[in-house]
Homo-oligomer: A and B are copies of this chain.
Amino acid sequence: MALKGSCIVAQSGGPTAVINASACGVVQECMKHPHIEGIYGAVNGVLGILNEEIFDFRDESPSDIEGLKYTPAAALGSCRYKLKSIEESKEDYARIMEVFKAHNIRYFFYIGGNDSMDTADKIGFLAKQMGYDMRVMGIPKTVDNDLAFTDHCPGYGSVAKFNAAAVMEAGRDTDAIYTSDTCTIIEAMGRNAGWIAAATALARREEADAPHLIYMPETVFSREHFVEDCKEVLSRYGRIFIVAAEGLKDKDGNYITAAAGEFAKDSFGHVQLGGIADILREIVENEVKVKARYNKLGTCQREAMHFASKTDRDEAYLCGRMAVVHAVEEDLTGKMISLVRESDEPYRCTTGLVNLAEVANAEKPLPREWINERGNFLTEKFIRYAAPLIQGEVEVPIENGLPKYIRLNRKAIPKKCPPR
């Protein structure tokens, strides 16, 4: 006998192209279950719960809900508000339970990365301790692809696809104008893991194609090796195309961008405060003696729904849907939906389940053996892993030459608790 009551879905952390597809999966699946009353959304993630800023998806139009499948970024709103241990964030947890009880929320679907899985786990624990019957399910989301116990994360395939296309195109630019603009550097997201930078390897179909060099946080970044690599590539192709993850680290494990040691000052003695791409640009210009420029796609890379992976989007939707199925039909709680790869060729992937607590405390860097020995490119193993994730394109409606994304109304439901 399934638990009767309302559900709430919240989005957390950095948005992605497909995080709304997961929300859509949750909502559309919930609609099938008559014993789920309110299908609530929290405005701006856990902040919406704390502030009791809640709306009901039953007040949204079905076409807007369907539109979540092709609308990037967090349509519910997101935040970076971090809950700590139950002891340290006691009041926040109490407030969450207060709001849940007031609205008879019996299902909590949290779409996010490992911090969010940690929060979800603690909420589940508290509910149990208080004897409040509820189901808590996590839905993975991160462009960084660094969640453990899942083959990959929804959001990654799309950021991978767009970055690879952007590198392919900027690569053509360098091929065309290398006689004056000889080196191009692309800064890819990734403070702790190199998955996004790595994905641009998919753009290199022939040896001379961009990118020629890819640097990731999983290996030590050496200025000396870097300069050698650049000179070697330059002598071979007459041009250099580099992709660097934001979070490159030196041999002592310090971020290069932290501006300590050999990277601290530029050739004029000025302290460097810029991103990794600008630091590498300066090294190339000073030591390889060719003109270098850099592109930093920033938040554009994680929202590029106009060229997103259909595989990724469909899996994001499936993860949302399956969280509801497991919670409602099987009474499961305290789990995150994982993606389980069954085969590479043909690519087949289903969902699995993993304990929230396990995901919360683990990270998944790129396996060292997927990076070449020199630490400047990927091996065939990585390509086999990543290639299926970027297949297919999400169809986006176009209006006047630009995507027509939806906006939810997010009409507030009446508050039932005293202000926080």
Chain A residues near B (Cβ < 8 Å): 11, 14-15, 44, 47, 71-75, 77-81, 161, 164-166, 168-170, 172-177, 179-181, 184, 186, 202-203, 266, 268, 270-271, 273-274, 278, 293-300, 302-307, 309, 387, 390-393, 398, 400-403, 405
Contacts and interface: CB of A to CB of B under 8 A. Distances in A.
Given A15-B173, A173-B15, A81 B179 contact: yes
A304 B173 CA distance: 10
A79 B403 CA distance: 34
A177 B403 contact: no
Contacts of A390: 400-402
Contacts of A393: 398
A391 B173 CA distance: 24
Given A77-B176, A176-B15, A297 B295 contact: yes
B296 A172 contact: no
Contacts of A302: 173
A313 to B, nearest CB: 13
Given A295-B296, A303-B172, A306-B165, A47 B80 contact: no
A203 B402 contact: yes
Contacts of A170: 298-300, 303
A284 to B, nearest CB: 15
Taking the full assembly, how many copies of this chain does it contain? 2
13 contacts: A15-B172, A15-B173, A15-B177, A74-B177, A79-B180, A165-B402, A168-B405, A169-B306, A170-B300, A202-B400, A270-B271, A296-B296, A393-B398
B177 A79 contact: yes
A266 to B, nearest CB: 7
A71 B173 CA distance: 11
Given A303-B170, A305-B169, A392-B401, A176 B296 contact: no
Contacts of A401: 161, 164, 202, 309, 387, 390-392
A392 B399 CA distance: 10
Nearest to A268: B271
B303 A306 contact: no
A402 B164 contact: yes
5 smallest beta-carbon distances between A and B, as pairs: A295-B298, A73-B172, A74-B176, A390-B401, A169-B303
A186 to B, nearest CB: 8
A383 to B, nearest CB: 10
Nearest to A399: B205
Given A168-B405, A400-B387, A401-B392, A47 B179 contact: yes
A384 to B, nearest CB: 12
Nearest to A17: B169
A11 to B, nearest CB: 8
